[in-house]
Every structure is written in C-alpha cells, then in structure tokens.
Amino acid sequence: MRDLAVEYRHRPDHVAVIDDSGEYRARWLDSRARQLADAIAAGGTVLVQADNSWRTVVAALAVGLGDGVLAVVNRHTTRAEFAAAVEDIEPDMVIAEPSAVDEWAVAGERAPVLDGWSAVRTGGPREVSRWAGGRFIGLTSGSTGRAKGVVQSEEALRYACARTIEVNGLAPGDAVAAIVPLSSTAAFCFGVYLSLLLGGPLVLMDRWDPQRAAARLAETDARWTMCVPTMALQLAATGRPVPGLRSVTVGGGPMDRAALARAEQALGTRILRVFGMSECLGHTSPSPDDPEEVRLGRDGRPFAGTDLRAVSASGAVLGPGETGHAQVRGPSLFLGYARGGKVEPPALTADGYFPTGDLLMAHEDGTVTIMGREKDVIIRGGRNIDITEIERAVAGHPRVAQACVVPLPDDMLGERIALLAVSGDGGEISLAEITGFLGDGGLSKTKWPEFVFTVDALPQTKVGKLDRAGARALVRDLNASGTAAPR
C-alpha cells in the first residue's frame, strides 16, 4: 500500500475521512501516518484493531509507508480467537486500544500511539517476504469454527476496487461510505482501499444505527456504499431517501428480490446484488443500468478478467441453466491462508480455479445466480433439502421481513425444517400462515417448514452477516422452551 500512501500527499487539502468525531483532511492524516510509521519502523507485519474511524486509515497508510503488511482484527474478538490469529499471523506488532491489549493479554512493551492507543512489539521484525507478495491479511470465519487469515496482494485489492469503481460509475473525488465494520476483508478493501484509490471522502460510522446512517449518507453526499441485506432493508425502513447514492452493493446473506425492490424505491437508489468472498474479492456484480431481474434477482456477471464456472461432481464444466459447484479464478484470488506465520497456498484445481463451496447456475446472458452453499442443506429422512430455495420462497411472504431456515435435530428423521422469521409488522407469524403461502406458491410440501419461530432479529456475526451457527443454536433453545409446535 506504499504507492497509495505516497499519492496521498499529492491531495493534501481534501476532506479524506468523515467519522463520528468529525472531518479529517488528507494533510492531517498523512502527518499522523508518518508519525506512526516512525513508531513502527521495524514493524514488518502489524496486526491492527480496525475500528470505523480515522485510526484505521492512518494505520493503513503508516504500514504502507514502511512497506509492511497490514492485518486487521475486530475489537469484539475473544481472547481465544485473538490467540489463534496471533498463532497464524505471528505479527511483529499489535496496535489496539489499551483495554483490548489487556483483554487479549498481548505481551510486550507498550508505546502510546493514535491518541491513546497502544503499540506493542511482539517479536521480530521478520521479513515480509514470508507472505509471498501479500500486503493485507483479513480474518474470515471458517467452517471449523476457527477464523482463517486470508492473505491478499495489493494487486488483488487494486483490481477488485478498480472494477467496482468502473461498474458503479464512480468518479475521482466521490464520497463512499463504509457502514460495515472495517475489520472484515471486504469492508477494508471496498471501504478504506477503494476510498484511497478514488481520492474522495470516506464516510464512516463506528456503530450501526439505520437512522444515523441514512442521515450521514445524505449529509455527506455519499455516492456508493456496500452492506449486507439486513442493513439495506433497515436503511429503507427509516423512510429517509438517500438520492445522492448512485448505487448500493449488497451481498453476504439471503436476498429476496421483492424486498430489495421495495428498499430501492424507499432509498431512491439502485441496489446491486453481488457475489464475492474474502478469498476472491467482489468478483461478480450487475450494473446500475441493468433491469431489476438482473440487479436483484441474480448475482451479476463476473468482473472483466475473472472466470467463474459451475462444475459437476465429476469435474465436468456445466452449461447455462445447470447447477453445479462454483469455481473461480482471476486477479483478486487470494495468495493463501496465514498458517504459522507464512502463506499456506490454497487448494486449486489443475487449471488454477478455487472451489468456493457454493452452488452456481450460469445464464445464457453471462449473469450468474448463487443457489446456496454446498453445505446449506437439511437432510430429512435421507432427503437433501436446499435451504436457500425455502428461504427465497418464504421471503416473498408480504409479512416476512427476513427469513432464515435451519435444521432442527430429530431422533427419527435426523433433521427437520425450522424457520426463524422477522415480522415486518411486529406481529406473530404462524406456521399455518407460512405453509398456506408456500402451498399456494407451489413449493413442494416436503420442503415446508415444520417449525416457525417469530423473532425480533436474526443472529448476526461481528461484521453484520447472518450467523447461521447462532441461528441453529437459537432454534434449539426456542424449541426446548416450547416456543413453537410442529405441524
């Protein structure tokens, strides 16, 4: 990130960050970055507590000035999770607020930085060559329950941001907003890095509040933002249009076309339903000019230079209209996972594709639809039932604002189908109401939910995505308490 850090000095007077504490010009941020760079001169790999403030931008610039590697972590990371991240990344320095340093038991001599935060040298410095060209490490949830450190090159970040800027029609100097936590790989890439590349204001919020977010987006004339579906729907529910937004990129959770269409109308913008992952950043997107069927009903088309395909269980490439296992390759593909302080290369196919773990269907026009995760199935009496298909069907119910389908363990059938539903009007949603709606809609009875639990909100991860593990635990607890009865 050195090139961007140097370029920053050529635009000293523009407002570069707007956060909860005020506005900050590039000149001031650059000065703070040079001070921090001096403090971490031998830092090498720096693990930073990324919050949605000027501090994260300064840390990114400072690490870039020193040709170091930046790794980010969320303040809500537990001590055990932090220890696992340190084991994988082996950082030379940790920068965080003192309470986090205490909570995570970071050992080493502390130095004050960033107006009250602490820099703790934990070892080294070790050569950044151990990252094989990587310049950024973000943590992403793993299927094993242990977060994985995803190592990305700066070329991958720049490519993903440049294609996103191009697709959304953004111009140099445009303001973009980061309303999701910057501790995620995607949020850092499409928040901090994209803003630095554009040379415009980065609009930040440290705590999610839909009313405040809508007001700040309007006040700052933000042209684009990225968020999870829940946030888009909550923004729309404020009743405050944000006409300055050219588009809103939405991904990372179940999405219903009808609900997103209503959100578009309420916000006065275009919503773009996309597909991407930490391992291959933002690699599909529709255009704001695409029809609603493509913008909201599919997951866009691959970025120029990125190849996405569906393959059968035997590895045969499938044609349009056929659902298969998604594989991707392209310039934003990661270098590997952080393991033992170095890069562990990913398991790729012989021709260089990365299996994403998703089910994909391509269309004749080059657009794609993600049909769900390979593991997002309920096995009921030996029958595999696609969770995504049920969620999409339920989401069309006029009273359902959000829906999440999870398996409920059953001694006889193995698993049964349970639905967590958030009501749009605050009332209870009954099982009979759901099954009647699905029956009228033509969904096979074998796929109907057998339990319905009305909840105020769906469980979320630290970065605002649907927490399916949390949803499964919640369903088990609600069922044990007798909140709902099976049909």
Model confidence pLDDT, tens digit, residues 429-467: 999 999 999 998 888 888 899 999 999 999 987 767 788
Q: What tokens does 217 get?
A: 């987006």
DSSP run (H or E) holding 307? strand 307-311
Domain-embedded: residue 386: yes
The answer to whether residue 485 scores a pLDDT higher than 70 is: no
Mean pLDDT of 336-340: 97
Pairing status of strand 110-113 against strand 69-73:
unpaired
pLDDT at 42: 72
Model confidence pLDDT, tens digit, residues 298-311: 999 999 999 999 99
> What beta strand segments (E) does 129-239 contain?
134-140, 148-153, 176-178, 202-204, 224-227
Mean pLDDT of 280-288: 95
| 386 and 320 part of one domain | no
Model confidence pLDDT, tens digit, residues 190-216: 999 999 999 999 999 999 999 999 999
| 69 and 98 part of one domain | yes
188 DSSP 8-state letter:
I
Domain-embedded: residue 297: yes
Instruction: Please tell me the least confidently modeled range out of 44-58, 342-356, 379-393, 427-441.
Output: 379-393
Model confidence pLDDT, tens digit, residues 23-56: 999 999 999 999 999 998 877 999 999 999 999 9
Reported as a pLDDT band with limits 50, 70 and 90, residue 288 is: very high
Nearest CA-CA partner of 201 in 454, 417, 29, 70: 29
Instruction: Return all residues near 316 (Cβ < 8 A) that are at least 6 apart.
Output: none
Nearest CA-CA partner of 370 in 382, 378, 362: 362
Distances in Å between the Cα of 187 and the Cα atoms of 114, 228, 388, 459 are: 21, 11, 25, 20
The partner residues of 111 in beta bridges, in order of sequence, read 119
Domain of 393 in residue numbering reads as 377-480
Cβ atoms of residues 209 and 260 within 8 Å: no
| 156 and 303 part of one domain | yes
| Model pTM score | 0.82
| 141 and 37 part of one domain | yes
The answer to whether residue 2 scores a pLDDT higher than 90 is: no
CATH of the domain at 405: 3.30.300.30
Place of tokens 């635009």: 11
| 398 and 321 part of one domain | no
pLDDT at 114: 97
> Please, what is the average pLDDT of the chain?
91
Domain-embedded: residue 370: no
Pick from 2-11, 244-253, 279-288 the range whose average pLDDT is largest: 279-288
| 138 and 263 part of one domain | yes
Buried b (16+ CB within 10 A) or exposed e, 112-127: ebbeebbbbbbebbbe
| 333 and 396 part of one domain | no
Domain-embedded: residue 486: no
Domain-embedded: residue 148: yes
More confident residue, 121 or 6: 121
- Distance from CA of residue 439 to its chain's centroid? 34
DSSP run (H or E) holding 59? helix 54-65
| 32 and 165 part of one domain | yes
pLDDT at 75: 94
| 351 and 394 part of one domain | no
How many structural domains comprise the chain? 2
Buried b (16+ CB within 10 A) or exposed e, 188-223: bbbbbbbbbbbbbbbbbbeebebeebbebbeebebb
CATH of the domain at 340: 3.40.50.12780
| 258 and 302 part of one domain | yes
Place of tokens 């635990």: 473
pLDDT at 9: 62
| 107 and 217 part of one domain | yes
Q: Which of 338, 362, 386 is the last residue of a domain?
A: 362
Report the percent of the chain where pLDDT is more than 70: 94
